[in-house]
């Protein structure tokens, strides 16, 4: 995307053109605000395009389930809403229990999902294998089928929203790092960038792994932990079809889906690598992230009974990025503590690509109308979980990451 001239003044500056920032910028522009969308790198180039692109609508509580389901509806209507093409597949998803406590978890989730009007049911292991032929059913205790989950090529969301924002008159500024959030009398008055200053009374920090660093440029503190997450894609396999469902194995925290004619596998290891962006060089980009295939090989081994295909198959792709974890597993969204006019959106806990359509819309509602259309207090940027001492924060973030598919009831207590 081309770089526009730096405007002198706009209604809102959005820092970070990943899925969350681009969605917020689009929804602000759609509401009639003049918007500048800035990124220190190319637009849509950092963690978002490296995601697996899965939706998971059934979450651990009602509010987040409603947000995830609203996002899927916005993916279905993306083209009509934005004028941008978006190719997605809707084969649904399978969630597999191999332990009794996870079998109970699935029954609880199905009851809760049906209560919220979602198209979800238990199916037999044999039916699951019919839908996903590479799945072996030995040891499978129970399977949940969520019929409307989607998957897609992830870059489409940030790039589509950024282009649509530009068409609505938004200023697109790739390769324009924000170096300072300028304040006057305890409120935001603009940003200083490498290419000049922009005056604005609203600034959105959607800087992904750098969210905490950017918030501190305005003297605000929001603590979350960038955590490396990786996936791999096999070479094309004869029985893979695009209509095969996303398959998640709860105890192993592993997901599998069709991609590029092969199978994608990603997952959540027990001891992930956590980052402090303040200790990395200023020009660090996600393309410089050190990856480690042995992590994925171990995860594949943990699901070898269900997916023996991963044992000795060649790969066509291995990628990874830095989603951000929070100590309680919830996003952060809303006014930043300590500075009027600064808002944050992040803390995605490896789910910010698929939820970005609704989250960006909700934050835009908050900025434009003074409050969002639903209660988002569980995401408050100034809640206890985002202000914890560093060691406790990192330990809790690791615990959340390592039990990504486990319900709060089945997760071990923090030590
Ligand atoms: C392997 C992998 C698989 C994943 N799978 C899924 C999935 O299936 N479903 C799902 O929903 N999510 C998934 N995720 C998580 C998802 O990718 C993230 O939640 C999401 O991309 C976060 O978006 P973002 O906009 O916050 O971050 P980013 O895309 O990283 O965007 C932040 C932007 O801020 C910019 N920035 C930083 N500092 C500055 C500055 N000072 N000035 C200007 N710009 C700045 C950066 O350059 C960057 O472009 C996955 C992630 C990975 C790595």
- Report if residue 46 sits inside a domain: yes
Higher pLDDT, 415 or 109: 109
Out of 321, 346, 375, pick the residue that ends a domain. 321
Average pLDDT (233-259) is 98
> Nearest to residue 397, comparing CAs of 343, 333, 347, 335?
347
**Separation of alpha carbons 405 and 90, rounded Å:** 20
Q: What percent of the chain has pLDDT over 70?
A: 100
Number of domains within the chain: 2
Beta-strand runs (E) in 19-87: 35-38
Domain range for 160 is 12-50+155-224+327-394
User: 106 and 46 in one domain?
Assistant: no
Q: Is the C-alpha dihedral spanning 75, 39, 367, 83 positive or negative? A: negative
Find the helix packing angle between 19-30 and 352-369, rounded to 10°.
Answer: 40
220 and 334 share a domain?
Answer: yes
| Same domain, residue pair 284 and 343 | no
Mean pLDDT of the chain: 97
**Residue 180 phi/psi, 5° resolution?**
-155, 145
pLDDT of residue 42: 98
What is the pTM assigned to this prediction? Answer: 0.98
Query: CA-to-CA distance for 388 and 365, rounded, in angstroms?
Result: 29
Nearby residues of 59 by Cβ (< 8 Å), 6 or more positions away: 65, 67, 68
Domain identity same for 299 and 248: yes
* pLDDT for the residue 344: 98
Calculate how far, in angstroms, residue 405's C-alpha sits from the geometric centre of ligand 1.
20
Q: How far apart are CA 114 and CA 139, in angstroms?
A: 26
pLDDT recorded at residue 391: 97
Q: 389 and 243 in one domain?
A: no
Position 79 scores a pLDDT of 98
- H-only helix segments in 14-133: 19-30, 62-76, 78-82, 100-115, 125-131
**Residue 97 belongs to a domain with what CATH number?**
3.30.9.10
Q: How far is the CA of 346 from the centre of ligand 1 (A)?
A: 8
Could you tell me if 376 and 334 are in contact, meaning their C-beta atoms sit under 8 angstroms apart? yes
**Mean per-residue pLDDT for 119-123?**
98
Output the pLDDT for position 151.
98
Check if 18 has its Cβ closer than 6 Å to any atom of ligand 1. Answer: yes
376-385, pLDDT tens digit by residue? 999 999 999 9
Q: Quick check: is 382 in a domain?
A: yes
Give the integer Cα–Cα distance in Å for 166 and 179: 23
pLDDT at 198: 98
CA proximity to 335, closest of 293, 379, 374: 379
Q: Are residues 294 and 235 in the same domain?
A: yes
Helix (H) or strand (E) holding 204: strand 202-205
Supply the pLDDT for residue 244: 98
Predicted local distance difference test score (pLDDT) of residue 415: 76
For residues 152 and 52, the answer to whether their CB atoms sit within 8 Å is: no
Through-space distance between the first and last CA atoms of the chain, rounded to whole angstroms: 48
Q: What is the pLDDT of residue 148?
A: 97
Q: Check if the beta carbon of residue 389 is closer than 8 Å to that of residue 190.
A: no
Residue 3 has pLDDT above 90, yes or no: no
Say if residue 193's pLDDT is above 80: yes
Q: What are the residues facing 324 on neighbouring strands? A: 226
Q: Which residue has the higher pLDDT, 415 or 215?
A: 215
Q: Are residues 232 and 367 in the same domain?
A: no
Give CA angle at 67 (64, 68), nearest 5°.
85
Task: Identify whether residues 159 and 141 lie together within a single domain.
Answer: no
For 382-396, the pLDDT digits (tens) are 999 999 999 999 999
- Confirm or reject: Cβ of 49 under 6 Å from ligand 1: no
Last residue within a domain, chosen from 289, 321, 353? 321
> From ligand 1's centre to the CA of 303, what distance in Å?
27
Q: Is the CB of 19 under 6 A from ligand 1?
A: yes
Q: What percent of the chain has pLDDT over 90?
A: 97
**pLDDT tens digit string along 9-63?**
999 999 999 999 999 999 999 999 999 999 999 999 999 999 999 999 999 999 9
141 and 233 belong to one structural domain: yes
Quote the DSSP letter at residue 200: -
| pLDDT grade for 196, boundaries at 50, 70 and 90 | very high
pLDDT exceeds 80 at position 201: yes
Handedness of CA 306, 311, 316, 319 (dihedral sign): positive
CA 338–ligand 1 middle distance (angstroms)? 25
pLDDT at 328 over 90: yes
- Overall average pLDDT of the 188-204 stretch: 97
Atom of ligand 1 nearest to the CA of 22: 25
Which atom of ligand 1 lies closest to the CA of 179? Answer: 41
Query: So what's the pLDDT on residue 288?
Result: 97
- Of the candidates 70, 67, 7, 1, which has an alpha carbon nearest to the alpha carbon of residue 33? 7
Ligand 1 pocket check for 207: Cβ under 6 Å: yes
Token readout for 277 is 């962006």
| φ, ψ dihedrals at 364, nearest 5° | -60, -40
pLDDT for 314: 97
> Which atom of ligand 1 is nearest to 53's Cα?
8
Distance of CA 312 from the midpoint of ligand 1 (Å): 31
Report how far apart, in Å, the C-alpha atoms of 349 and of each of 24, 210, 354 are: 18, 14, 12
Q: In this predicted structure, what is the pLDDT of residue 75?
A: 98
Spatial CB neighbours of 124, under 8 Å, sequence gap ≥ 6 = 143
For residue 83, being part of any structural domain is answered with no
Does one domain contain both 264 and 316? yes
Over residues 190-216, mean pLDDT: 97
User: Among the three residues 321, 339, 357, which one is the final residue of a domain in this structure?
Assistant: 321
* C-alpha separations of 245 from 6, 242, 356, 394 in Å: 45, 8, 22, 33
CATH number reported for the structural domain that contains residue 372 in this entry = 3.50.50.60
Do the Cβ atoms of 177 and 113 come closer than 8 Å?
no
125 versus 411: which is more confidently predicted?
A: 125
């Amino acid at each position: 995307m081309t770089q526009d001239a730096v405007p002198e003044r706009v209604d809102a500056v959005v820092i970070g053109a990943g899925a969350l920032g681009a969605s917020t910028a689009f929804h602000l522009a759609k509401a009639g605000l003049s918007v500048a969308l800035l990124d220190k790198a190319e637009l849509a180039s950092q963690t978002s395009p490296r995601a697996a692109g899965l939706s998971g609508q059934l979450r651990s509580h009602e509010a987040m389930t409603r947000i995830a389901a609203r996002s899927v509806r916005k993916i279905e209507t993306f083209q009509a809403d934005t004028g941008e093409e978006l190719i997605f597949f809707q084969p649904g998803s399978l969630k597999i229990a191999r332990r009794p406590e996870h079998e109970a978890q699935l029954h609880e989730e199905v009851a809760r999902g049906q209560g919220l009007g979602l198209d979800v049911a238990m199916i037999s292991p044999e039916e699951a294998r019919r839908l996903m032929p590479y799945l072996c059913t030995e040891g499978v205790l129970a399977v949940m089928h969520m019929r409307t989950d989607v998957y897609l090529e992830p870059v489409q969301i940030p790039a589509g929203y950024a282009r649509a924002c530009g068409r609505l008159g938004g200023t697109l500024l790739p390769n324009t790092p924000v170096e300072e959030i300028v304040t006057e009398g305890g409120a935001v008055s603009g940003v200083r960038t490498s290419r000049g200053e922009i005056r604005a009374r609203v600034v959105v920090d959607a800087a992904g792994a750098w969210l905490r660093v950017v918030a501190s440029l305005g003297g605000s503190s929001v603590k979350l932990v960038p955590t490396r997450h990786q996936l791999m894609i096999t070479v094309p396999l004869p029985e893979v079809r695009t209509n095969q469902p996303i398959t998640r194995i709860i105890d192993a925290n592993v997901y599998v889906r069709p991609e590029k004619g092969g199978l994608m596998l990603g997952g959540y290891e027990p001891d992930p690598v956590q980052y402090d962006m303040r200790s990395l060089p200023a020009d660090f980009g996600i393309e410089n992230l050190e990856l480690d295939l042995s992590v994925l090989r171990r995860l594949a081994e943990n699901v070898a009974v269900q997916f023996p295909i991963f044992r000795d198959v060649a790969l066509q792709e291995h990628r990874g990025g830095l989603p951000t974890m929070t100590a309680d597993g919830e996003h952060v969204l809303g006014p930043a503590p300590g500075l009027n006019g600064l808002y944050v959106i992040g803390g995605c806990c490896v789910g910010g690509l698929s939820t970005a359509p609704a989250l960006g819309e909700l934050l835009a509602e908050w900025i434009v109308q003074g409050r969002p259309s639903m209660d988002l207090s569980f995401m408050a940027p100034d809640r206890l979980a985002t202000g914890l001492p560093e060691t406790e924060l990192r330990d809790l973030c690791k615990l959340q990451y390592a039990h990504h598919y486990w319900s709060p009831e089945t997760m071990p207590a923090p030590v």
